[in-house]
Chains A and B, each alone.
Chain A
Amino acid sequence: MAHITINQYLQQVYDAIDNHDGSFCAELLSFKHPHVANPRLQLASPEEKCQQLLEPPYDEMVAAHLRCTYAVSNHDFVEAYKFQTLVAEQQLQKKGKGQPGEMLEKAAEQLMSCFRVCASDNRAGIEDSKKWGMMFLSNQLFKIYFKINKLHLCKPLIRAIDSSNLKNDYSPAQKVTYKYYVGRKAMFDSDFKPAEEFLSYAFHHCHGSSQKNKRMILIYLLPVKMLLGHMPTHQLLRKYDLMQFADVTKSVSEGNLLLLNEALSKHETFFIRCGIFLILEKLKIITYRNLFKKVYLLLRTHQLPLDAFLVSLKMMQLDDVDIDEVQCILANLIYMGHIKGYISHQHQKLVVSKQNPFPPLSSVS
């Protein structure tokens, strides 16, 4: 591969196309294949040769690929991107984005133009349509947008895929990846119910042997489920090596604020790196709710003195909380629907409903 001439290379491409050998052809156009190191193939303007031997659209594709190898050998990565993505536009499913790394925004720009081409392809029939490339391209774009932290750019892609009539016909692998990213986006927009749907789908449909992928999905599914009141079992956490969540889970279900704060700070780096630290902080409200529910169950009355709640918070070593803040926290829980009742300032009591004063978490949005 490293020493063939341009003619031999083109002949191989031609044969591959003729024999419908898609995967071999893809290799010949991929950057992971050793042929890219062959200096005989690194031509600045190979169009003529390609046109001689190959039919359109392959001649242009291969020419673009060869110009790309030339550009890369000259370390002109910008040019390399342009050409390699022109190849990608022809829908050969591969990850040939040229060299990875710093130029992510430029890569996104290129992929976006590919996506637009695919989305607006109305001329070909359904088997040859470029629309089949849409989900793959959006998955790649999602990866970039999440990396450069520009999540708002995902919206037009999601809208385009949602309105396409092919959305259920893509391969399961693509659908799982798609739902994973859409679920993560929903999480960051605080739409927890849809996030749970998407991430659960991704988790259940993800192939059993891709442990790594399942673990990745679980990292985001767990906080969402916990916010909706469903705690994971220890077995699950151990199976996927996610013991960092163990203490968090325990503290939330017990209403133990102290343990929650400790757990969050102990595994801070991990949570921040995954981008879920802020969402886990939202669990504090759930923890308050669970703690106060315990107070209610202990006192067995419907008129709970505010002081009791203050004592419970002090037990959690929250020393700078005073009675005003307790009232504020309670008022917030009532506003959010976690407690059914009202506060009486004159009597300094929380009066809760006789029926179901602490509705189950899954019923509160």
Chain B
Amino acid sequence: MNRRRAPRRISLSQRRDAPAGGEWRQRKEERWRGQGKAQAREVEEDESCEQHGKEAVPRGTCQTMCPARELQDREVQNRLHRFEMLAGTERVRRPRGDPLRAVKEYTRPAAGKDSTNPTDLRPPAVLLKTVCYLIDDIAASPHLHPWTEVYSFVFDRLRGVKQDMIIQRVSGLNCMAILERTVRFLIYASYRLCGEPLWLYDPRINDTHLQESLSWLLDCYATETGPHPNQEEFQALGLLYNLGSARATQHIMELSGRLRTSPAITLALSINRAFLERNPVRMLRLARRLNFIQGCALHRHLVTCRRDLLLIYSHGYCSRNCRFPLDRLAQLLSLDTSLAAQLCQAYGVDVNQGNQLVFSKAAFTEPGKGKLHCKMYHNIVAEKQRELSVGNIIHGCV
């Protein structure tokens, strides 16, 4: 439709809504930006196709974690992160960058910006090494504080890694290895930084990137030829993180029989079932069998689980002479007695003198915003950590 003669009237192709060449692609980009790898890939593909006329896929050649040009630029503009500065130059007015510690940062794609210069892109092997550096030397380092700052840095640099992967359309073993570590890092962070103030850690942003990386990873498992030794672990993590979601459950149900009957997924499915049936006693009992990283994935649903327990008990035991022992409830909730009492008070459940609970459906109330601190009730996950090192958790070699 682009080669019409003089228009005789408003033709369909010229109306705002009709798809037509570049306009179509731009609109698509607007709608699908930030919605996942496949779409972002296509956008980049279209951009580069339009600019270079269907050129081949960009291939990076940068062998360092940060391209030399960027390091120089950021040094001059004083935009180095303190983790990237050459030791001893941190206090100087213009700190020097350490090429062994500088990592390419994430930059938003912009119109007219060419992100496909090979010297600025890192090939997959270098990307994997970068990710390992970020985990071993930054995230797992016992010397860097506070961890919120560590998280910000690693989060941003991992985003840069993902961007390089998208531009180069990386797939295969390297891609999956990087995504697996990214997902484990984000899940661990969602647990460790739970309760931190919003300006230091935003759970929504963490969740968005976690879901994106997870769905890309699961896509890889589905499209690439096997074997995928960690697939069982990540399918289970995906379900635990998205507990109760119809979409996530349906996805698991559509996996091969062999996968579905593997231990991790069977356990995740049972927990999911117990959650959907509103059987918190069963759910908490099964949750004790999870390992640390699985516990991290599940932990935000424990709030709902405990709330459900108090809610249905408030209805089920609602009678004038109700006396339910606090100890028993604490056991069911996997909390110690004082914490259990605090939780009950937050939900309006009355605890009398003899440490007995008086359940009443009228008394049950949702706690006010900010009154309930999930972090206080983390012990069920915390006790699984024991001597596991952060590095081992994220690399997955436990």
Where the two chains meet, the residues of A that have a C-beta atom closer than 8 Å to any C-beta of B are 45, 47-48, 56, 60, 64, 67, 82-83, 86, 89, 109-110, 113, 116-117, 149, 188, 272, 275, 277-278, 281-282, 284-285, 324-325, 327-332, 334-335, 342-346, 351
Q: A331-B315, A346-B321 are in contact. List 5 more A-B contacts (CB 8 A).
A: A109-B19, A149-B247, A277-B253, A281-B276, A328-B281
**Distance in Å: Cβ of A260 to nearest Cβ of chain B:** 13
Q: Is the CB of B332 within 8 A of A335?
A: no
Question: From DSSP, what is the main secondary structure of chain A's interface residues?
Answer: helix
**Distance in Å: Cβ of B5 to nearest Cβ of chain A:** 7
Q: Is the CB of A332 within 8 A of B11?
A: no
- Known contacts A60-B12, A86-B1; is A332 also within 8 Å of B316 by CB? yes
What's the Cα separation between A203 and B318 when bound, in Å? 43
When distances are taken between beta carbons in the complex, the residues of chain B under 8 Å from A278 are 246, 249-250, 253, 276
When distances are taken between beta carbons in the complex, the residues of chain A under 8 Å from B11 are 60
What's the Cα separation between A117 and B276 when bound, in Å? 42
When distances are taken between beta carbons in the complex, the residues of chain A under 8 Å from B276 are 278, 281-282
Q: Is the CB of B279 within 8 A of A335?
A: no
When distances are taken between beta carbons in the complex, the residues of chain A under 8 Å from B1 are 64, 67, 82-83, 86
Q: Is the CB of A56 within 8 A of B8?
A: yes
- Contacts A/B (CB < 8 Å), 14 sampled: A45-B3, A56-B8, A67-B1, A83-B1, A109-B19, A281-B277, A284-B277, A325-B282, A327-B281, A327-B316, A328-B280, A328-B281, A328-B312, A346-B323
Q: Is the CB of A345 within 8 A of B281?
A: no
Q: Is the CB of B277 within 8 A of A345?
A: no
B278 at the interface (CB under 8 A from A): yes
What's the Cα separation between A188 and B250 when bound, in Å? 11
Q: Is the CB of B17 within 8 A of A113?
A: yes
What's the Cα separation between A161 and B63 when bound, in Å? 57
B254 at the interface (CB under 8 A from A): yes
Return the contact of A325 from the options B24, B28, B279 (Cβ within 8 A): B279
Q: Is the CB of B253 within 8 A of A335?
A: no
**Distance in Å: Cβ of B306 to nearest Cβ of chain A:** 13
When distances are taken between beta carbons in the complex, the residues of chain A under 8 Å from B254 are 272
- Known contacts A82-B19, A110-B19, A328-B280; is A281 also within 8 Å of B312 by CB? no
When distances are taken between beta carbons in the complex, the residues of chain B under 8 Å from A344 are 317, 319, 321-322
When distances are taken between beta carbons in the complex, the residues of chain A under 8 Å from B319 are 342, 344, 351
When distances are taken between beta carbons in the complex, the residues of chain A under 8 Å from B9 are 56
A/B pair count, beta carbons within 8 Å: 105
Return the contact of B273 from the options A48, A109, A281, A351 (Cβ within 8 A): A281
Q: Is the CB of B5 within 8 A of A47?
A: yes
When distances are taken between beta carbons in the complex, the residues of chain B under 8 Å from A325 are 279, 281-282, 285
Q: Which of A110, A272, A342 has the most CB of B within 10 A?
A: A342
Q: Which of B5, B11, B317 has the most CB of A within 10 A?
A: B317
**Closest residue of chain B to A116, judged by CB?**
B17
Which residues, 303 to 328 on B, are CB-close (under 8 Å) to A? 309, 311-313, 315-319, 321-325, 328
When distances are taken between beta carbons in the complex, the residues of chain B under 8 Å from A335 are 278, 311-312, 315-316
Q: Is the CB of A47 within 8 A of B315?
A: no
Q: Which of B4, B311, B316, B324 has the most CB of A within 10 A?
A: B316
What's the Cα separation between A282 and B254 when bound, in Å? 18
B13 at the interface (CB under 8 A from A): yes
When distances are taken between beta carbons in the complex, the residues of chain B under 8 Å from A86 are 1, 12-13, 18
Q: Is the CB of B277 within 8 A of A285?
A: yes
- Known contacts A86-B13, A324-B332, A342-B317; is A332 also within 8 Å of B312 by CB? yes
- Known contacts A82-B19, A285-B277; is A47 also within 8 Å of B4 by CB? yes
**Closest residue of chain B to A83, judged by CB?**
B1
**Distance in Å: Cβ of A190 to nearest Cβ of chain B:** 9
What's the Cα separation between A110 and B20 when bound, in Å? 11
When distances are taken between beta carbons in the complex, the residues of chain B under 8 Å from A48 are 5
What's the Cα separation between A304 and B387 when bound, in Å? 48
**Closest residue of chain B to A344, judged by CB?**
B319
What's the Cα separation between A77 and B377 when bound, in Å? 56
Which residues, 1 to 35 on B, are CB-close (under 8 Å) to A? 1, 3-5, 8-9, 11-13, 15, 17-20, 24, 28
**Distance in Å: Cβ of B252 to nearest Cβ of chain A:** 10
What's the Cα separation between A342 and B325 when bound, in Å? 16
When distances are taken between beta carbons in the complex, the residues of chain A under 8 Å from B18 are 86, 113, 117
When distances are taken between beta carbons in the complex, the residues of chain B under 8 Å from A113 are 17-19
**Distance in Å: Cβ of B320 to nearest Cβ of chain A:** 10
**Distance in Å: Cβ of A63 to nearest Cβ of chain B:** 9
When distances are taken between beta carbons in the complex, the residues of chain B under 8 Å from A345 are 317, 322-325, 328
**Closest residue of chain B to A112, judged by CB?**
B17
What's the Cα separation between A344 and B24 when bound, in Å? 66
Against A, the Cβ 8 Å flags (1 = close, 0 = not) of B335-367 are 000000000000000000000000000000000
**Distance in Å: Cβ of A188 to nearest Cβ of chain B:** 6
Q: Is the CB of A275 within 8 A of B317?
A: no
Return the contact of B282 from the options A82, A285, A328, A331 (Cβ within 8 A): A328
Q: Is the CB of A272 within 8 A of B253?
A: yes
When distances are taken between beta carbons in the complex, the residues of chain B under 8 Å from A281 are 273, 276-277
Q: Which of A64, A83, A275, A343 has the most CB of B within 10 A?
A: A343
**Closest residue of chain A to B361, judged by CB?**
A335
**Closest residue of chain A to B278, judged by CB?**
A332
What's the Cα separation between A45 and B5 when bound, in Å? 11
**Distance in Å: Cβ of B37 to nearest Cβ of chain A:** 14
What's the Cα separation between A116 and B19 when bound, in Å? 12
When distances are taken between beta carbons in the complex, the residues of chain B under 8 Å from A328 are 279-282, 309, 312
When distances are taken between beta carbons in the complex, the residues of chain A under 8 Å from B20 are 82
When distances are taken between beta carbons in the complex, the residues of chain A under 8 Å from B323 are 345-346
When distances are taken between beta carbons in the complex, the residues of chain A under 8 Å from B280 are 328
When distances are taken between beta carbons in the complex, the residues of chain A under 8 Å from B325 are 345
